Structure 1
Amino acid sequence: MTRSILRYTKHRITQHPDTEVTFEAKCLTCGWEAEPSADGAAVDVECMSHTGRTQHNRFRRLCTSVALVERAE
């Protein structure tokens, strides 16, 4: 019979300090895509402008970041 010793260590997850969050959006009607940006509000404005021009009102929005997991000490 094999025995194991389990040790639990607390960790925390944060955004990697050398990276930014990136916001993106794509129209679900025609495939139009907003320019990716670190400013989520700017991407939202592009979506609203697209809706004003085309009446397309459904978008897939993505928020991408790089995570860093470290031991909590």
Structure 2
Amino acid sequence: MTRSILRYVRHRITQHPDTDVTFEAECLKCEWTATPSTDDAAVDVECMRHTGMTGHGGFRRICTSFALVERVE
């Protein structure tokens, strides 16, 4: 019979300290995309401007962040 020893190590996940969250958006009706930015309000303004010019009101919004997993001491 084989015996095993199980060890459980606690971890935590946080946003990587050397990176920012990046916000993006793309129109659901055409090929338009907003300029990626670390400022979510700037991307929202671009979407509203696009809606005003085209009448397109649906967008896919993307938030990208990088994670760091570390052992909890």
- Relative to the length of structure 2, the TM-score reads 0.93
1:71, 1:65 → 2: CA distance?
20
Aligned to 1:25: 25
* 1:1-73 pair list within 5 angstroms: 1-73=1-73
Letter in 2 for 1:42: A
CA distance in 1, matches of 2:2, 2:48: 61
The percentage of aligned residue pairs carrying the same residue is 75
Residues 12-38 of structure 1: CA deviation (Å, up to 9, x unaligned): 101111111000000010020000000
Question: Superposition RMSD on alpha carbons, in Å?
Answer: 0.9
TM-score norm. by structure 1 comes to 0.93
Segments of structure 2 that go 5 or more residues without pairing to the other structure are none
Q: Give the superposition deviation at 1:4.
A: 2.2
Tell me how many residue pairs correspond in the alignment: 73
Please list every run of at least 4 consecutive aligned residues from structure 1 whose deviation after the TM superposition is greater than 3 angstroms. Answer: none
